[in-house]
Amino acid sequence: MHPILTSFGLNSSNHSIEHIGTGHIHQTFLVKGLNSYILQRVNKNVFTKPEVIAQNLRTASTFLKANYPDYLFLSPIISIDEHEMVYDNENYPWRLFPYFDNTTTLNEVTSETQAYQAAKGFAQLTKNLKDIDTSLFKPTIEKFHDLNWRYFQFQMALKKASSETKELAEKTIQTANSFAYLVDRYNTLINSNSLHTRITHNDTKINNILFSQLTEEAFCVIDLDTLMPGYFIYDLGDMVRTIVSPVSEEEKDLSKITFRKSIYEALINGYLSQMHDILSQEEKQAIPFAGMMMTYIMALRFLADFLNGNVYYHITYADQNLVRAGNQLRLLEILKSELQIP
């Protein structure tokens, strides 16, 4: 790690390095010193074209600086030889971000204020980018939130999995299949062309926003690797998925998963505080579908990864991806009974 710090002009003997974060993809470290930083090793198996991330962020940052100079958009720190990323001996890209004092991330939401502020924060990003030319952005992961594609990948994983693995997951597979009608709903919605292509964050789970500890407001959005063209339901849906329940996707005790109506309403209000005048009438009608769609996609992705032998998400115990899939399907059942989808 030390040569990496040197590439960014930091002296490693003046800093301590500590592994932090709950992300499932990258390795994240806090570099502590007189000034502190966040250092991240990018997962090159997931992001096979890290240069595309850097290019998208440059495009967004240039636009935002010109049009919203006061908006805090988290760009990586440039290395001594003027790159956003520095490659190590094994060809892993590393990048450095500023660390902000008096800010924090949350894994679970405990108040309406937090739900409102988080949704407002994520919505503000899409709002500020509403006039940018979306064709300037490239997907950093193809078909990332395409429910058809994720369902297909789940089917492929089922085909390849051993009967032993499938037996372990039998009930979860059954429940996942019982929600396949959501794929048809998704296709109908997308084919109706009623959703506009916007620049979306695409990873709006609650721990991807920094909160100010002083004001309780959102400070800035983080984890911008999937900033790319998408539909608003992807962002709003992932917020519903990670905010309405008092427990996270890691919770094993499914009885703790509930739908907190006032929290749901606060999050929708927070999102609409920015996007009300931007979303079309037809888009607004898709709001109740957003949470179900994104919860289903994550159930399928976790379950497929379990069936594939846990090759994508970082796990700390053997059936963690199966537990996550079961958790998401329970949430989906609850959302189904709480949200009237058109």
The residue among 127 and 205 lying less far from ligand GN1, judged by its C-beta, is 205
The residue among 84 and 223 lying less far from Mg ion, judged by its C-beta, is 223
Give CA–CA dist 92/3, Å, rounded: 13
The identity of residue 185, as a single letter, is R
Residue 116 C-beta: closest distance to Mg ion, Å: 23
Q: From the list ligand GN1, Mg ion, none, which binds 298 (C-beta under 5 to 8 Å, kind-based)?
A: ligand GN1
> What DSSP assignment string belongs to 157-204?
HHHHS-HHHHHHTHHHHHHHHHTTHHHHHHHHHHHTT-SPPEEE-S--
Residue 193 C-beta: closest distance to ligand GN1, Å: 25
The contact pattern for Mg ion, residues 170-209, with x = CB under 5 A and - = no contact, is: ---------------------------------x------
The residue among 206 and 275 lying less far from ligand GN1, judged by its C-beta, is 206
Residue 216 C-beta: closest distance to ligand GN1, Å: 22
Place of tokens 């429910």: 147
Q: From the list ligand GN1, Mg ion, none, which binds 341 (C-beta under 5 to 8 Å, kind-based)?
A: none
Instruction: Summarize as ranges the residues that interact with ligand GN1 (CB under 6 A).
Output: 23-25, 46, 203, 205, 208, 223, 226, 249, 298
From residue 192, give the alpha-carbon distance in Å to each of 222, 282, 341: 32, 10, 16
Q: Which residues contact 166 (CB under 8 A, 6 or more apart)?
A: 158, 173, 307
Residue 145 C-beta: closest distance to Mg ion, Å: 13
Contact call for residue 223 and Mg ion (CB under 5 A): yes
The residue among 203 and 238 lying less far from Mg ion, judged by its C-beta, is 203
Q: Which residues contact 214 (CB under 8 A, 6 or more apart)?
A: 102
The residue among 46 and 132 lying less far from ligand GN1, judged by its C-beta, is 46
Q: From the list Mg ion, ligand GN1, none, which binds 305 (C-beta under 5 to 8 Å, kind-based)?
A: none
Which parts of the chain are beta strand (E)? Answer: 16-20, 27-32, 37-41, 86-87, 93-98, 103-104, 198-200, 209-212, 218-221, 228-230
The contact pattern for Mg ion, residues 135-154, with x = CB under 5 A and - = no contact, is: --------------------
Q: From the list Mg ion, ligand GN1, none, which binds 46 (C-beta under 5 to 8 Å, kind-based)?
A: ligand GN1
Other beta carbons within 10 angstroms of residue 171's beta carbon come to 11
Give CA–CA dist 283/189, Å, rounded: 10
Residue 195 C-beta: closest distance to ligand GN1, Å: 19
Give CA–CA dist 305/308, Å, rounded: 5
The residue among 84 and 238 lying less far from ligand GN1, judged by its C-beta, is 238
Point out which residues pair with 17 in neighbouring strands: 31
Give CA–CA dist 238/316, Å, rounded: 23
Q: How far is CA 22 from the centre of its chain?
A: 12
The residue among 205 and 260 lying less far from ligand GN1, judged by its C-beta, is 205
Interacting stretch for Mg ion, rule CB under 5 A, among 54-62, 153-161, 219-227, 230-238? 219-227
Interface residue list for Mg ion (CB under 5 A): 203, 223
